[in-house]
Structure 1
Amino acid sequence: MGLSVHLLLILGACALDALLGDPVYRLHPIRVLGAWTLCCERWLFAVGLNGYLGGVLLWLATVAGALGSWWLVHAALALLHPWLAMGWDLFIAYSLLCARDLLTQGWRVLAALDDLPLARAELQRLVSRDTETLPPAGVVRATIESLSENLTDGVLTPLWALCLFGLPGLILVKVVSNLDSMVGYKNARYARFGWAGARSDDLVHWLPARLSVPLIRLAAALLRLHSRLVFPTALRYHALLPSPNSGWSEAAFAGALRVRLVGPIWHQGHLVNAVFMGDPDWPAELGADDLRRALQLVLAACLIALLAGLVLAPLRSLMPW
């Protein structure tokens, strides 16, 4: 793939995502991938491969299935006309990017803040924690935390993977993220079986999570937020969360907005966290203005990430595929 075609793929996919958002239909690539993953999981458990080896085989089966399916369709269409293959690639890339959906869901919570039950229901689309008893400030904090975490997982890593490694890189990242969301749990069923999915997810997001900090600092500076607090807050508070990656962008957002995040988190009726992220004299009773600033920060960070990806895109020519 030449550089001009590669750049066209990136810009076209991002433009479609910005204009249309994530397409919703039964055979969406992520839904198909989820069904294939579940089918493989059931078969592996049925034959007794429910430990580490089974998890590795699941990883290989899902990666091979996703990449193989994309390539077979691409190759078949290329025999008919190169632009048909390009259209297929553009459709898949667009379907796997989700910056607009992330912002849209955040705006839905913001618009619903005057109706607390509705705001909690909109928040539930973003988080897995208990939301039924969250006060307004808790809804805002949880929304900002989800926006900042998903900035890395849902925007930076997929976008930069597409820019640097082409569509195969984007597909691999989405497969790994999907695996982590389905089997990456530390419970009796998945503690060993989900290890490969969870660790590979940590690996692919490791560098983008840390690069998110200077990205957020630049975005905060452009928006005239508290950019000088971003680095010290990220360094001091990133380890507060158990994930090796999500704490970086969340702490960076706390510094950029000069607010306290996290705090009491309940999951399935159990208190799993009570510690705040951010200096004690920063506000934790957050409102609509704080969420609005966070959404602006996400948008600015996404645009900067796209510019950075376009600058790095020529390195794609060094890849063997």
Structure 2
Amino acid sequence: MRLGGRALGVTLGLTLDRLLGEPPDAWHPVAWFGTTMGRVERCLYADARLPGAAYALVGVGVGAGAGWALDRLGRRLPGHGTAAVATAVGLACAGRMLRETSARIEDRLGAGDLDGARELLPWLVGRDPSALDAGGVSAAVVESLAENTVDAVVAPVFWGLVAGAPGVLAHRAVNTMDAMVGHRSTRYARFGTAAARLDDAMAWAPARVFAALVAVLAVAPPRAGRDVLATVRRDAPAHPSPNSGVAESAAAAALGVELGGPLRYGDRVENRPRLGDGPRPDHSTIRAARRLVDRVEITAAALCVVLAAVVAGHTSRTRPQSPYEESPYEESPR
């Protein structure tokens, strides 16, 4: 399928997510994939990297194979596979869920209901919320909006443009496996290495696209976009993730706050680097972050529309003339 068709499919997929949101868990293909990979893990698990690599290979095959089947089916419909890309992006994208969940947490914090905000936080992040104050919860939500907009908005757009439905669902599979086994725990320190490295590789470009879009959209003081890129260059390399640090430091700079700091994951404590300059976030920062990532998604969709139009115009200008079309230089029969 041509780039223009993929770009149009990406735009339609983003629109589907904005209109419909996430399917129920019982009917969500990502949930089915997670169940399947849980069974694969039980069959392959060993505290070593090679079984983990086999696990990751199976998962990528399942995701890419589902995208290939969707693409084959979509080519039978009008649009030459655009519907397949739209469906894949609609299933892989979670922008609406991120915005709605962050708004619910913001409302709880605004009403002074810290316990209610803590209760909702695991919908977005894996850290232990029990000891977080209001600022800690706000920082966690802002960081999640940045990181997950890369994984669940920009990456589906990027892989949809590059590789169509198979690329979108292969990335979704890798990202899901990373969430399942890619964290640094006793059980997954070796087994999850391949999934984690694959996720880093597939999110490398989308994270930097996100930072570039944030720099363009930053409308605070003059040179704000340049400040965003400078903060990314300064702070992101200290983050343990090559991609989360880019996304979070870009958001911190655009919002004028400081992110990072100590985190707790069960019994494990991580002292994350500080990202950005300014005060710690509060519940109003969540609203600003939600508007920022919403503009990133809308801009990505608009750019895809422009790309589809440009490709369509170029194709129409360079289409070879059919031998059955009359040449303007031939004399018409009398």
**Global fold match (TM > 0.5):** yes
In the alignment, the residues of structure 1 paired with residue 255 and residue 155 of structure 2 have an alpha-carbon distance, to the nearest angstrom, of 23
How many residues matched? 309
Distance verdict in 2 for CA 1:301–1:86, change over 3 Å? closer
In the alignment, the residues of structure 2 paired with residue 211 and residue 8 of structure 1 have an alpha-carbon distance, to the nearest angstrom, of 19
| Secondary structure of the structure 2 residue equivalent to 1:124 | helix
In the alignment, the residues of structure 2 paired with residue 252 and residue 162 of structure 1 have an alpha-carbon distance, to the nearest angstrom, of 24
In the alignment, the residues of structure 2 paired with residue 82 and residue 181 of structure 1 have an alpha-carbon distance, to the nearest angstrom, of 34
* Pair 1:93 & 2:89 matched: yes
In the alignment, the residues of structure 2 paired with residue 160 and residue 76 of structure 1 have an alpha-carbon distance, to the nearest angstrom, of 22
Q: Compute the displacement of 1:119 (Å).
A: 1.2
Q: Aligned partner of 1:39: which letter?
A: R
Q: Aligned partner of 1:121: which letter?
A: E
Q: 1:102 aligns with which of 80, 98, 101?
A: 98
* Pair 1:258 & 2:280 matched: no
What does residue 42 of structure 1 align with? 42
| Secondary structure of the structure 1 residue equivalent to 2:123 | coil
Distance verdict in 2 for CA 1:212–1:12, change over 3 Å? closer
Q: Compute the displacement of 1:276 (Å).
A: 2.9
What does residue 283 of structure 1 align with? 279
* Pair 1:59 & 2:33 matched: no
Alpha-carbon deviations, 1:184-234, whole Å to 9, x = none? Answer: 133333222222111111111112222322211111138989444212211
Q: 1:203 aligns with which of 193, 197, 201?
A: 201
Alpha-carbon deviations, 1:143-197, whole Å to 9, x = none? Answer: 1111111121221111111122211110111111111111113333322222211
In the alignment, the residues of structure 2 paired with residue 249 and residue 144 of structure 1 have an alpha-carbon distance, to the nearest angstrom, of 10
Which deviates more from structure 2 when the two are superposed, residues 201-210 or residues 85-94? Answer: 85-94
Alpha-carbon deviations, 1:10-43, whole Å to 9, x = none? Answer: 2221111111111114131101111121111111
What does residue 302 of structure 2 align with? 307
What does residue 13 of structure 2 align with? 13
* Pair 1:170 & 2:168 matched: yes
Contact 2:260 2:275 in 1 (8 A): yes
Q: Compute the displacement of 1:96 (Å).
A: 1.2
Contact 2:182 2:193 in 1 (8 A): yes
In the alignment, the residues of structure 1 paired with residue 286 and residue 221 of structure 2 have an alpha-carbon distance, to the nearest angstrom, of 14
Q: Aligned partner of 2:60: which letter?
A: V
Contact 1:177 1:201 in 2 (8 A): yes
| Secondary structure of the structure 2 residue equivalent to 1:259 | coil
- TM normalised by structure 2 equals 0.82
Provide structure 1 residue ranges, at least 5 long, that are not aligned to the other structure. 316-321
In the alignment, the residues of structure 1 paired with residue 260 and residue 11 of structure 2 have an alpha-carbon distance, to the nearest angstrom, of 35
In the alignment, the residues of structure 1 paired with residue 205 and residue 183 of structure 2 have an alpha-carbon distance, to the nearest angstrom, of 22
What does residue 293 of structure 2 align with? 298
Distance verdict in 2 for CA 1:127–1:76, change over 3 Å? closer
In the alignment, the residues of structure 1 paired with residue 139 and residue 223 of structure 2 have an alpha-carbon distance, to the nearest angstrom, of 17
Q: Compute the displacement of 1:76 (Å).
A: 6.2
Q: Aligned partner of 2:292: which letter?
A: L
Q: Aligned partner of 2:146: which letter?
A: S
Q: Aligned partner of 1:186: which letter?
A: R
Distance verdict in 2 for CA 1:232–1:38, change over 3 Å? same
Distance verdict in 2 for CA 1:312–1:42, change over 3 Å? farther
Alpha-carbon deviations, 1:39-97, whole Å to 9, x = none? Answer: 1111113xxx653222222122222223334444664686xx52598656543331111
Contact 1:223 1:297 in 2 (8 A): no
- TM normalised by structure 1 equals 0.85
In the alignment, the residues of structure 2 paired with residue 142 and residue 170 of structure 1 have an alpha-carbon distance, to the nearest angstrom, of 27
- 1:128-147 equivalences under 5 Å are 128-147=126-145
Contact 2:93 2:152 in 1 (8 A): yes
Which deviates more from structure 2 when the two are superposed, residues 223-232 or residues 6-15? Answer: 223-232
Contact 2:63 2:166 in 1 (8 A): no
Which deviates more from structure 2 when the two are superposed, residues 82-91 or residues 154-163? Answer: 82-91
In the alignment, the residues of structure 2 paired with residue 271 and residue 25 of structure 1 have an alpha-carbon distance, to the nearest angstrom, of 31
Distance verdict in 2 for CA 1:288–1:190, change over 3 Å? closer
Distance verdict in 2 for CA 1:75–1:211, change over 3 Å? closer
Q: Which has the larger radius of gyration?
A: 2
- 1:185-204 equivalences under 5 Å are 185-204=183-202
What does residue 24 of structure 2 align with? 24
Percent identical pairs in the alignment equals: 33
What does residue 149 of structure 2 align with? 151
In the alignment, the residues of structure 2 paired with residue 91 and residue 210 of structure 1 have an alpha-carbon distance, to the nearest angstrom, of 25
Distance verdict in 2 for CA 1:223–1:149, change over 3 Å? farther
Q: Compute the displacement of 1:3 (Å).
A: 5.3
